[in-house]
Amino acid sequence: MTLLQHELTDFTVQAFQNNDFHEVTKADVLGHWSLFFFYPADFTFVCPTELEDLADHYEEFKKIGCEIYSVSHDTHFVHKAWHDANEKIAKIQYPMLADPTALLARDLDTYNEELGQAERGDFIINPEGKVVAYEVISSNVGRNAEELLRRVQASQFVYEHGDQVCPAKWEPGEATIAPSLDLVGQL
């Protein structure tokens, strides 16, 4: 079963952002692009490198109208403690969502019941709240913010230009492909 075009379930979770706590709901996600970035747990090893990489590219995501939501099973209190204790995490300005009941992780099928935590999953969500791209990988392999940014940009392009597709390694401004019968077997 694929999660492509899966619509997020209604949710309300606590978040830590800019040294404050607040709620994030499904309604907050609608109307703009989102990257839901699941990771196993705070105070771990690969996770801070990934979250710092996203923090270093956060302005680029904001420029293209995409909000980043990091998500783990930790509470918002733990997110704050990690933010206060770790210089990599202290860079984060995007919302760190608390998912202690695994509502979001289960909805997006990244929850590992045996471990009681989410796998490393990233989900690009369109303005209607639907998954348009995702990957779930082994918990011992970190992800690359630049590739995630490129995938968001490609997803945005095809969302606006449904008659075109983006080839491998496509970057904004590069040529796309308009599928047609005369191209079959020619690429």
CA 90, chain centre distance (Å)? 19
- Residue numbers annotated as active site: 47
Query: Mind listing the pLDDT tens digit for each residue in 25-67?
Result: 999 999 999 999 999 999 999 999 999 999 999 999 999 999 9
Nearest partner of 71 among 48, 31, 102, 44, judged by Cα: 102
Identify the pLDDT of residue 138: 87
Decide if pLDDT at 181 tops 80. no
**Domains of the chain, first to last:** 12-143 (3.40.30.10)
Mean pLDDT of the chain: 96
User: Considering the entire predicted model, what is its pTM?
Assistant: 0.95
Give percent above pLDDT 70 in the chain. Answer: 99
Tell me what the mean pLDDT of segment 145-155 comes to.
Answer: 98
